[in-house]
């Protein structure tokens, strides 16, 4: 090749047509052939077994993992129940606003403190991790404590009647229980 000859390296401009800019929309998908062996998607024809192998039997690429049901963390419910019980019970024992009837404390101890915390502990068992074991231990223990504490104020259990002669012993017994 002589120096007078040159190679044309001019790049020709590429024009994009309007129909190429728009994404193709598949309007039709059919199954045809002997024994439904072909799948026609738009203008393309595929073997059905190839698509099944490529998508693992679903339209997800690859094999889809088995769905795992997960529960939320019950610690927030258990902590709210603990805080609410401690606050209201503390206000009752401090004689706040002159309240001497323990009915509100009994309701909270039995349901919010006892039942909700116990269920939060069982919910922690369903989590199944080390955190779940800790939640199970803590909240079922506190739930049982609040059940027992609520029973002190229920007349049919007869706990307050047993200390009717000496109310200071009842106060000391409740103090030991709270320790």
Please give the Cα distance from 32 to 27 (Å, whole number). 16
pLDDT of the residue at 100? 86
Counting residues of the chain whose pLDDT is more than 70, the rounded percentage is 79
Average pLDDT over residues 73-83: 91
What digits encode the pLDDT tens for the residues 128-161?
A: 778 888 999 999 999 999 999 999 989 999 999 9
Please give the Cα distance from 47 to 37 (Å, whole number). 6
Please give the Cα distance from 110 to 51 (Å, whole number). 59
Sheet hosting strand 29-32, strand order edge to edge: 29-32, 38-41, 44-47
Residue 124 has pLDDT above 60, yes or no: yes
**What burial letters (b/e) apply to 67-99, b meaning 16+ CB within 10 Å?**
eeeeeeebbebbeebbeebeebbeebeeeeeee
What digits encode the pLDDT tens for the residues 5-44?
A: 555 556 666 665 655 566 667 778 888 888 888 888 888 8
Residue 170 has pLDDT above 60, yes or no: yes
pLDDT of the residue at 73? 84
Contacts of 78 (CB under 8 A, 6+ apart): 116, 117, 120, 121, 124, 135, 138, 139, 142
What digits encode the pLDDT tens for the residues 40-59?
A: 888 888 888 887 776 665 55
- The model carries a pTM of 0.58
Average pLDDT over residues 93-115: 89
Sign of CA dihedral 160, 162, 168, 173: negative
């Amino acid at each position: 090749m002589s120096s007078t000859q040159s190679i044309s390296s001019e790049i020709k401009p590429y024009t994009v047509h309007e129909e190429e800019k728009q994404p193709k929309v598949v309007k039709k998908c059919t199954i045809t052939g002997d024994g439904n062996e072909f799948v026609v998607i738009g203008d393309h024809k595929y073997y059905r077994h190839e698509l099944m192998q490529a998508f693992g039997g679903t339209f997800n690429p690859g094999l889809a993992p088995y769905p795992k049901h997960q529960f939320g963390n019950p610690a927030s419910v258990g902590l709210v129940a603990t805080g609410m019980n401690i606050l209201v019970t503390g206000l009752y024992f401090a004689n706040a606003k002159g309240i001497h009837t323990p009915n509100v404390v009994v309701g909270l101890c039995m349901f919010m403190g006892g039942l909700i915390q116990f269920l939060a502990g069982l919910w922690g068992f369903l989590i199944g991790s080390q955190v779940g074991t800790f939640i199970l231990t803590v909240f079922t223990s506190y739930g049982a404590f609040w059940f027992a504490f609520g029973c002190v104020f229920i007349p049919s259990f007869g706990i307050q009647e047993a200390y009717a002669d000496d109310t200071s012993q009842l106060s000391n017994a409740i103090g030991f229980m709270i320790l």
